[in-house]
Amino acid sequence: MNLRINSINFRGYDAAPLKRIYIEQEYSAPFADELKAVGMTEDIKVATIHDNLEWVQDDKSIIEKAGGPFLISSDKASDNFLCTIRSRYKMPATKTPGYLTGGNAFIGKFPNGEKWLISGEKNKTQNKEEISKTYDIPPENIYFLPQQNYHLDMFLRPIGYPFILVNDPELVMQNIDKLDGTEEEKETFRQTTANHYKLQRIFAYYCDVNATVKKLEEIGFIPIRIAGDYGESFNFMNAIVNKHKNGTISYITNSSKCSNKLYSSIEKTFADDLREKVPYLDKIYFIEGKKSPARDTNYIMEALAYGGGGIHCMTMEEPNFKTWA
């Protein structure tokens, strides 16, 4: 697919200029300095919060209300945390019954300025009118997508309306041949990855990539198939996207770098694919955190494998609403 940068309307959280990224004090120490270094390069402040909830993205979201930032949360957020947000950042903050798990929802804008929201079909039972009121988005602009995984941010990533990256397992399996390892190592990894996808198919929410792509096309988005989920420790769909003033974007995602040569080569293969498919991409950052030599992994790989979440799950974005056209 050939994408021209001047044909893209960059609006919304999917490719927003980011003002601040929040990380949880109790869980972010292994990668905090790394993310702060990225923040300095990208002109994004990285703020540490304390609520003792590892998956910051899932329980809290900063939306735009009355032209400014407004934090909404699930019931899991503590009252002390909400008070801190109000006092330290002068930001309204409240728990709300219409809250959607942050990892399972993305917000953006159409070219006419109207907001849209996409969420996973697991949320379809929630009252759309209540969601509309919470997020200040017209009910007709709220869409529910078939899910390949438990949250949207594990298998797709908006990169500027109308384009959305969608993980394609078939492309993943094809790309294993490109990895840096022996044929025996590749075959072992191929079986591990196949088992990863086989396990996903037993869950009630599961759908294949074609169902997601079809639904996205029906509601006016342009899905871009890419190999992004290589198994429980390797997920590059789980990412933060920052938009620059010149219309380019940077992509911040999970690293596969470790002492294992084959594993380490996966992120380069993804980077090559991403640059080929997204010509308006500027920088790619792979966050790894502290190494774990005993298991040939890094901190982020272990968070994905044993906790089911990566860098997007462990952060909360605050867009710069003043420049969100």
Cβ neighbours, 10 Å, residue 208: 16
Cβ neighbours, 10 Å, residue 170: 12
Residue-level pLDDT at 323: 85
Both structure tokens of 180: 């840096």
Which CA distances in Å does 68 have to 13, 43, 240?
Answer: 14, 20, 21
Residue-level pLDDT at 293: 65
pLDDT in tens, the chain (325 residues): 434 333 333 223 667 899 999 999 999 999 999 999 999 999 999 999 999 999 999 999 999 988 899 999 999 999 999 999 999 999 999 999 889 988 899 998 888 888 899 999 888 878 899 999 999 999 999 999 999 888 999 999 999 999 999 999 999 999 999 999 999 999 999 999 999 999 988 887 789 999 999 999 999 999 999 999 999 999 999 999 999 999 899 999 999 999 999 999 999 999 999 999 999 999 999 999 988 666 779 999 999 999 999 999 999 999 999 887 6
Calpha distance 59→116 (Å, rounded): 20
Calpha distance 138→115 (Å, rounded): 8
Both structure tokens of 261: 């040569």
DSSP string, 10-50: --BGGGPPEEEEEEETTT-TTTHHHHHHHHHHHT-EEEEE-
Residue-level pLDDT at 3: 43
Residue-level pLDDT at 267: 98
Residue-level pLDDT at 61: 94
Residue-level pLDDT at 320: 93
Residue-level pLDDT at 206: 86
